[in-house]
Amino acid sequence: MWLKVAIVVLLLAMVASLINAFVALMKDKSGSPRLVWSLTSRVMFAGLILALILYGKMSGQLDVSAPWISSPEASQIPSPQKQEQSQDINKQE
């Protein structure tokens, strides 16, 4: 659970950094270090998010639960259509 919270916090920090960079771009004069720091921190946040997602996936704490992505267990369970087809083939023989 802590991993998901950390990812969400980093995503919010990344958005805040992006907003800060936009404000610095509009208001500050040319060559301001605030813009460079904001964009650099946004890249660091993205790298940390990627590292946390990879860690969570490799450790098993994060898993894909989308219904359109089949898992290895789902491929072993026969669908009703396959069962009907196999019964039809058995009846024909």
pLDDT at residue 8 greater than cutoff 90: yes
- What is the C-alpha to C-alpha distance for residues 42 and 25, in angstroms, rounded to an integer? 15
Q: What is the pLDDT of residue 19?
A: 93
Query: pLDDT tens digits, residue range 20-75?
Result: 989 988 888 777 788 889 889 999 999 999 999 999 999 988 887 777 776 555 55
Q: What is the pLDDT of residue 30?
A: 75
pLDDT at residue 91 greater than cutoff 90: no
- Residue 10 CB: number of other CB atoms within 10 A? 19
Q: What is the pLDDT of residue 31?
A: 72
